[in-house]
Amino acid sequence: MLAFERRMALAELLKQNPVLTVDELVRRFGVSAQTMRRDFAYLAERGLLTRTHGGAVARAAEALGFESGFALRTAQRAAQKAAIARTALALVVPGSTVMMDASTSVLALAQLLPPGADLHAIVNALPIGTELSARPGVTTTLIGGTLRSTSLSASGPLAESMLRRLFADTAFISARGLSLERGLTEANPAESALKEIMIANATRVVALVDSSKFERTALSFFAPVGALDVVVTDAEADPRMLRGLRERGIDVRIATPRESAAAPDAAGTGS
């Protein structure tokens, strides 16, 4: 087992076992105590556990960046996601091809597309595909693969192989964490792999990231912040983060409640 695979398995064990000891993990993984302590240090550095004498203790699920159920995540910071989606609506170019990841932030954008929207959308999430199916002007390509229950999305080698063959004008993505130094991260490596391909195969990359994700790091890296063209976030965002993003040449757009209320008129004109 590779170090990355072992650390992934260790992180998964933390979901079920709030306290883990070095001795039991040495037996489970067949590695030395020194190797296991290095794994602890790696995960602790990323905020995934707290080291203790002889073992480690899991942090709260939110700190770990683990995925909660899709319905629960949809409800979290719903007002901010709605405002961000309405601001991002102006970035949807009629007649273009877009890629949309499996995030609830991007689902909020899909829900705001007007009935007459003219797009070709490439998606891997069932909720987003279902939402787009109600718009006759949107041609939807649904990526196949292994269905993940926490995101209701397809991932894995089949999904990656299909997505590599497709290209888009704009990729709309989100992330579990966005750090100026560590880049964009996700809780699940399978989702990270798809986001990485979306970024590589799109001419423009738009990230819809609410302010609670700033300066957080989840388990799996998928892109440096320099890979982004636009970041849409909410009015609670740390000004230092916004300044750092702009210094890197990224177009930062702030969604406010007033923008959220005004957006339906803009959507009606196709702007």
How many independent structural domains does the chain possess?
Answer: 2
- Identity at 218, one-letter amino acid code: A
Looking at the structure, do residues 231 and 120 belong to the same domain, yes or no? Answer: yes
CA distances from 224 to 86, 211, 215, 217, 221 (A): 25, 18, 13, 12, 8
| 25-44 mean pLDDT | 85
Phi, psi of 252 (to 5 degrees): -105, 125
| 37-50 mean pLDDT | 76
Looking at the structure, do residues 18 and 129 belong to the same domain, yes or no? Answer: no
CATH code for the domain of 26: 1.10.10.10
| 46-67 mean pLDDT | 57
pLDDT at 78 over 50: yes
Looking at the structure, do residues 181 and 100 belong to the same domain, yes or no? Answer: yes
Looking at the structure, do residues 51 and 95 belong to the same domain, yes or no? Answer: no
Looking at the structure, do residues 37 and 84 belong to the same domain, yes or no? Answer: no
Looking at the structure, do residues 185 and 58 belong to the same domain, yes or no? Answer: no
Whether the full predicted model's pTM is greater than 0.85, yes or no, is: no
pLDDT at 217 over 80: yes
Structure tokens at 70: 């899709």
Q: What is the pLDDT of residues 238-263, one digit of tens each?
A: 999 999 999 999 999 999 875 434 33
Looking at the structure, do residues 145 and 16 belong to the same domain, yes or no? Answer: no
Do 176 and 186 form a contact (C-beta atoms < 8 A)?
A: yes
pLDDT at 28 over 50: yes
Looking at the structure, do residues 20 and 81 belong to the same domain, yes or no? Answer: no
Return the percentage of the chain with pLDDT > 70, whole number. 79
241 vs 12: which has the higher pLDDT: 241
Looking at the structure, do residues 55 and 77 belong to the same domain, yes or no? Answer: no
pLDDT at 220 over 50: yes
From 16, 36, 64, the end of a domain falls on: 64
Least confident piece of the model among 57-71, 89-103, 221-235? 57-71
31 vs 69: which has the higher pLDDT: 31
Looking at the structure, do residues 57 and 100 belong to the same domain, yes or no? Answer: no
CATH code for the domain of 199: 3.40.50.1360
Angle between helices 189-200 and 157-164 (to 10 degrees): 10
| Band of pLDDT at residue 61, cut at 50, 70 and 90 | very low
**Which residues form the domain of 42?**
3-64
Looking at the structure, do residues 233 and 137 belong to the same domain, yes or no? Answer: yes
Looking at the structure, do residues 159 and 34 belong to the same domain, yes or no? Answer: no
pLDDT at 11: 73
Q: What is the pLDDT of residues 132-186, one digit of tens each?
A: 999 999 999 999 999 987 788 999 999 999 999 999 999 999 999 999 999 999 9
